[in-house]
């Protein structure tokens, strides 16, 4: 028995040694920068005229712009679940925006799923999640229980930006869904007395993390809540946009500008530390802009956040990685947020659980020209509660709202999705519908109630905000 224990300890020590040795190799650092509810046309590389984004544009200039870069859902929570796991979130029932329910371990990313941080941690990476989590507020679902070594941010689906508005010490003081916006910022699991405008604080923490961890491979998940509502900005950023008359658009622009400034400090720190060449920096939004809510601009795309026209699911998307990706590149074929994790995994040869295969692909062969095919034969979307769906191929896209509309677009030519060609090409429509039905059989129903079920959830869980002392 004792001998067996020694053998197990030896194997464990050897495994740790292998990881430490691996961590000293030429693994790329990974920085994923996620904006929240950003409009497609609200970055310079997609044509913005009234909101300068010079630092976000540097990522595009130094690497590749994806003209057809998609996310896996049209609202925050499910989109983030897809990105962080590299899998269609409907495979594991994350089909809704989770409620703020700090005592419910089922309200968020199920423990059966691995995150990007889990996978990279096994391969010698040190990681931090910064900003908006929105994958579960229960202690078991905390970022540090999901592969991240450190956390700085908030667990809820949104937050106030001004420190004076963080009036609740922690989750135990919450009495309603919206109280999650008022909690103090967490450093790991401890509420702190943060004094900076939230966007500035998140950027500061990313820069500090790079400073402290430059000697080892790291992963930063920098999930800004800007420019998600509530629309709040400091005079430092508001004063840049006195030319914008619409108050909503002006504040939105200020919030985007604050985020861009912060991204600039992150890029500068990477350069200062000599890490720019072998760091993969990704920029994207979690979904399209909710134009009526925050004054965002999705033109020329049709639709907005929450629907499956491109305005809801096609987002500003760029990657720089000088060691692997040619600067000034533009890629036209459809890709999706799943591909971020698949690309890293492919390049570092990280093993993946065969029972949880990734839905993404390694983009490097496609960007280098070694593979001229489309990365994906089909991309799929399912809106369970609204009973809507979409499919995208390289050339075609369908959007279906049963009992309301069936649409087929030639996506490369009809960027604004104006011309419904279903009557001219019923065969293509039927083929894509059949493919969607096959894919849909692989999915499961939602495993938790979502934001639209707040009242029902309270009825079923009357002690939702009753915390034991």
Domains delineated in the chain: 27-368 (3.40.720.10), 379-444 (3.30.1120.10)
Catalytic residue among 76, 159, 228, 376: 76
Using CA atoms in the order 58, 60, 61, 66, what is the torsion angle rounded to 10 degrees?
-170
Kind plus residue range of the DSSP H or E element containing 282: strand 279-285
Strands 388-392 and 396-401: antiparallel
Catalytic residue among 18, 134, 138, 453: 134
Per-residue confidence (pLDDT) for residue 469, from 0 to 100? 72
Give this prediction's pTM. 0.94
Angle of helix 76-85 relative to helix 338-348, nearest 10 degrees, comes to: 10
Per-residue confidence (pLDDT) for residue 25, from 0 to 100? 59
3-class DSSP assignment, residue 124: coil
Per-residue confidence (pLDDT) for residue 242, from 0 to 100? 97
* Spatial separation of the C-alpha atoms in residues 88 and 442, rounded to whole Å: 10
3-class DSSP assignment, residue 208: helix
| 76: annotated active-site residue | yes
| 134: annotated active-site residue | yes
Angle at 29 (CA atoms; ends 358, 330), nearest 5 degrees: 70
Q: In what order do the strands lie in the sheet with 405-410?
A: 379-383, 388-392, 396-401, 405-410
Per-residue confidence (pLDDT) for residue 150, from 0 to 100? 98
Query: Tens-of-pLDDT digits for all 469 residues of the chain?
Result: 444 443 343 334 334 434 333 334 589 999 999 999 999 999 999 999 999 999 999 999 999 999 999 999 999 999 999 999 999 999 999 999 999 999 999 999 999 999 999 999 999 999 999 999 999 999 999 999 999 999 999 999 999 999 999 999 999 999 999 999 999 999 999 999 999 999 999 999 999 999 999 999 999 999 999 999 999 999 999 999 999 999 999 999 999 999 999 999 999 999 999 999 999 999 999 999 999 999 999 999 999 999 999 999 999 999 999 999 999 999 999 999 999 999 999 999 999 999 999 999 999 999 999 999 999 999 999 999 999 999 999 999 999 998 899 999 999 999 999 999 999 999 999 999 999 999 999 999 999 999 999 999 999 999 999 998 7
* Spatial separation of the C-alpha atoms in residues 166 and 112, rounded to whole Å: 33
Per-residue confidence (pLDDT) for residue 1, from 0 to 100? 42
Contact criterion met (CB below 8 Å) for 411 and 395: yes
Structure tokens at 387: 């009973």
């Amino acid at each position: 028995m004792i001998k067996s224990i020694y053998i197990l300890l030896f194997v464990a020590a050897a495994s740790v040694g292998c990881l430490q040795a691996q961590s000293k190799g030429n693994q790329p650092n990974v920085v994923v920068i996620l904006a929240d509810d950003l409009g497609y046309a609200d970055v310079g590389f997609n044509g913005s005229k009234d909101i300068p984004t010079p630092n976000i544009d540097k990522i595009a200039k130094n690497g590749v712009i994806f003209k057809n870069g998609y996310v896996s859902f049209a609202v925050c929570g499910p989109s983030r679940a897809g990105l962080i796991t590299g899998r269609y979130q409907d495979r594991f029932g994350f089909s809704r925006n989770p409620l703020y329910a700090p005592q419910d371990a089922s309200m968020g990313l199920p423990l059966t799923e691995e995150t990007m941080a889990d996978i990279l941690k096994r391969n010698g990476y040190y990681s931090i999640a910064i900003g908006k989590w929105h994958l579960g507020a229960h202690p078991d679902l905390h970022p540090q229980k999901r592969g991240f070594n450190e956390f700085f941010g908030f667990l809820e689906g949104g937050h106030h930006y001004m420190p004076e508005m963080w009036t609740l010490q922690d989750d135990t003081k919450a009495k309603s869904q919206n109280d999650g916006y008022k909690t103090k910022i967490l450093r790991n699991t401890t509420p702190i007395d943060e004094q900076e405008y939230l966007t500035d604080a998140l950027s500061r923490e990313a820069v500090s993390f790079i400073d402290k961890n430059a000697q080892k491979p790291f992963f930063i998940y920098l999930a800004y809540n800007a420019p998600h509502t509530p629309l709040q900005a400091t005079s430092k950023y508001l004063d840049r946009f006195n030319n914008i008359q619409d108050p909503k658009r002006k504040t939105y622009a200020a919030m985007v500008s604050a985020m861009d400034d912060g991204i600039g400090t992150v890029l500068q720190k990477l350069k200062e530390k000599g890490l720019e060449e072998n760091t993969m920096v990704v920029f994207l939004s979690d979904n399209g802009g909710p134009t009526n809510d925050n004054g965002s601009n999705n033109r020329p795309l049709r639709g907005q956040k929450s629907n499956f026209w491109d305005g809801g699911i096609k987002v500003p998307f760029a990657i720089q990685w000088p060691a692997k990706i040619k600067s000034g590149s533009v890629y036209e074929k459809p890709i999706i947020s799943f591909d971020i994790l698949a690309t890293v995994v492919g390049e570092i040869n990280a093993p993946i659980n065969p029972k949880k295969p990734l839905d993404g692909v390694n983009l490097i062969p496609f960007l280098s020209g070694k593979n001229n095919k489309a990365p994906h034969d089909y991309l799929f979307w399912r809106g369970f509660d609204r009973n809507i769906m979409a499919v995208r191929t390289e050339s075609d896209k369908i959007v279906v709202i049963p009992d309301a509309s069936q649409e087929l677009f030639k996506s490369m030519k009809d960027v604004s999705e104006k011309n419904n060609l279903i009557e001219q090409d019923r065969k293509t429509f039927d083929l894509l519908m059949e493919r969607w039905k096959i894919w849909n059989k692989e999915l499961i129903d939602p495993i938790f109630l979502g934001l639209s079920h707040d009242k029902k959830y309270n009825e079923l869980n009357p002690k939702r905000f009753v915390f034991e002392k």
